A = this chain, B = another copy of it.
Amino acid sequence: MSLLVGIDLGGTAIKVALADARGEIFITESIATRSQEGPDAVIERMIGLIRRLLAQHDVPRELIGIGIGVPGLVDVPSGVTRFLPNFPTQWRDIPLARRIGDAMGCPVRLLNDVRTATLGELRFGHGREIDGVTMAFFSIGTGIGGGVVVDGRLRLGPLGAAGEIGHQTMVPGGPRCGCGNRGCLEAIASGSAIAAQGVRLVRSGLAPRLRQIVGDDDARVTTRTMMQAAPDDPPVMEAIRDAAKMIGIAAANVVTILHPSLIVLGGGVAEAGPVFVEAVADEMHRRVGMFPTADVRVERSMLGDRAGVVGAIALAMPPTMPR
């Protein structure tokens, strides 16, 4: 039996999935990343986990490919990590693909994690409903990541860094973003940005219901608790809607630039509910003036937080295979 391995290397957890040659996943497991132990230890534990999962299946098997999504910049052709900002030592110039490939004896492909998730949405999500699709994926969580597909092909650019649609400047003099720029969509409409507004509203006395729900504990103010409070606290509802509108404007910019047929919204914030997705879609349609957008669908991700590891399976597939 031919097997594929997909790995989503995150700041807190490493998710691994085993799939058959068509990408059908039959086992997934997650372990703590413990990135503070440094690249060597993390890589050893990744290899150990793959071996353990394979050993659980005593059918004859051939590992034909491994795909890995990592949180940062990679050199795509060589499979070397360039800059993982949230990891100690930033994993500068770690030949991750070669290290794993030597240990496991199969080809390994490396990609930024959100581009990997976009590949998941393309091959196993709404993207596969449209032949040669042009689409954009917004992953709205703590930050806002993204990816862009043109004519069925994931747009990578020389560093696998194209598709960062969460780092469009929405407000030129706006708040500082983690990327160094000011006023990025991520700085205004991510889960963190929405929660920051929630905290402000609690402290200003404008969100009594939210205050009650979180029991005076700022740390419990999240998009989720804000959604709970929103029906009773109009300013909380407004903060969520304002963020959705900003994402709608950013989506409109992508539509104006690429005229895709599909926008997919994923990440924890998009899962807050259909109201959020609808508000994004409404604003997108309203903001594109240059051509009719009735043919542009806005959908919630079907894959949810599995998009990354599912995309890593898609990445693991040999390029010659039908996808």
Residue positions of A touching B, CB distance < 8 A: 73, 134, 148, 150-151, 153, 155-159, 161-165, 167-172, 177, 179-181, 184, 245-246, 249, 252-254, 256-261, 287-292, 295
Which one of B134, B167, B258, B287 lies within 8 Å of A289 (CB-CB)? B167
Distance in Å from the Cβ of A174 to the closest Cβ of chain B? 11
Complex copy number for this chain: 2
Contact of A162 among B164, B258, B292 (CB under 8 A): B258
Cβ A256 vs Cβ B165 within 8 A: yes
Rounded to whole angstroms, the CA-CA distance of A59 and B256 in the bound complex is 46
Of B165, B179, B288, which is within 8 A of A257 by CB?
B165
- Cβ-defined contact, A257 with B256, below 8 A: no
Which of A150, A158, A168 has its CB near the most chain B CB atoms (within 10 A)? A168
Knowing A172-B246, A253-B169, the reply to whether A259 touches B289 (Cβ < 8 A) is no
Report Cα–Cα, A181/B255, bound state, in Å.
14
A162 touching B259 by the CB < 8 A rule?
yes
Q: How far is the CA of A165 from the CA of B256 in the complex (A)?
A: 7
The verdict on A167 contacting B246 (CB below 8 Å), with A157-B134, A289-B177, A289-B181 known, is no
